[in-house]
């Protein structure tokens, strides 16, 4: 831990569940920041903008602002600016994230199905919700058959809420990929580019950073493949069977984010 100076933190399931702070999370984040670590919250949340997330977390006592947050939608905007500037996108997402999709051209889904000039270049998949019905998915499938690219903000299969696990867009994405015989371009976690963008924001190298998450594949092992130390927490969507079935081993496993300051201090100071 001596080389770590930057900490990347997932939000949902690590700091909060249904936007309510997990025990000890506020205090732990304050302690980490007070100790001088650079902190960036990195999230696949697609239902809110960075400003909205920051406001909710700050109201709960977390010492964060919008500048401390990197979302999958914001990363998607940067990705499309580089890999498809001016592309017409049909967005399938639950929540208003227009503010974080700066520069992305989103066309109306209804028009795109009936007006030839409005045909999309990209089918853009965000987070799941009631919008993911048969008609919407079938329209997306039609666009893909006609040559549109498939870009997804993440592959999350589910997330944790106060009522339990809820299905996410990764389940629908897998069906679209198989039906259209193509593989989606992923812009959020677990994409390596997402972690590299986070490190660039903090001015840190992979060997100087640590990633804390509740998703062993998208958060922890993906970060480790990018050279970042991975820490899995046993909160949020964590399930013991996922750890046993994973194709890798986290560098560290802790009970909750509240235990991270002690891990960062090292065994000599615990």
Tens of pLDDT, residues 207-266: 999 999 999 999 999 999 999 999 999 999 999 999 999 999 999 999 999 999 999 997
- Quote the CA–CA distance of 132 and 268 in Å, as a whole number: 51
Tens of pLDDT, residues 17-29: 999 999 999 999 9
Q: What is the DSSP string of 86-134?
A: T-EEEEE-SS--GGGSTT-EEPPHHHHHH-GGG--SEEEE---STT--H
pLDDT band of 118, cuts 50, 70, 90: low
Query: Do 129 and 47 meet the contact criterion of CB atoms below 8 Å apart?
Result: yes
Pairing state of beta strands 209-213 and 6-9? Answer: parallel
Q: Whose CA is closest to 197, among 73, 11, 13?
A: 73
The 10 Å Cβ neighbour count of residue 55 is: 15
**pLDDT greater at residue 245 or residue 1:** 245
- Quote the CA–CA distance of 79 and 66 in Å, as a whole number: 20
pTM value is: 0.86
Q: Is 24 helix (H, G, I), strand (E, B) or coil?
A: coil
Report, as an integer, the average pLDDT of 109-131: 80
């Amino acid at each position: 831990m001596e080389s770590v100076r930057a900490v990347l933190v997932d939000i949902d399931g690590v700091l909060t569940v249904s936007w309510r702070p997990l025990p000890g999370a506020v205090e732990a984040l304050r302690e980490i920041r007070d100790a001088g670590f650079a902190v960036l919250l990195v999230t696949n949340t697609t239902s809110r903008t960075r400003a909205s997330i920051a406001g909710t977390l700050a109201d709960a006592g977390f010492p964060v602002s919008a500048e401390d947050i990197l979302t999958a939608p914001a990363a998607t905007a940067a990705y499309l600016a580089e890999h498809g500037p001016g592309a017409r996108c049909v967005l399938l997402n639950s929540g208003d994230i227009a503010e974080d999709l700066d520069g992305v051209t989103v066309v109306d889904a209804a028009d795109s199905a009936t007006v030839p000039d409005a045909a999309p270049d990209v089918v853009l998949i965000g987070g799941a919700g009631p919008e993911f019905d048969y008609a919407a998915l079938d329209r997306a499938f039609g666009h893909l058959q006609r040559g549109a690219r498939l870009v997804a903000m993440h592959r999350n299969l589910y997330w944790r809420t106060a009522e339990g696990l809820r299905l996410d867009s990764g389940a629908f994405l897998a069906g679209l990929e198989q039906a259209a015989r193509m593989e989606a371009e992923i812009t959020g976690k677990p994409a390596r580019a997402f972690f590299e963008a986070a490190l660039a924001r903090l001015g840190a190298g992979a060997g100087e950073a640590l990633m804390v998450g509740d998703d062993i594949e998208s958060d922890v092992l993906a970060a480790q493949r990018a050279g970042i130390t991975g820490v899995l927490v046993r909160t949020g969507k964590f399930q013991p069977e996922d750890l046993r079935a994973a194709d890798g081993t986290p560098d560290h496993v802790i009970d909750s984010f509240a235990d991270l300051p002690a891990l960062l201090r090292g065994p000599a100071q615990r």
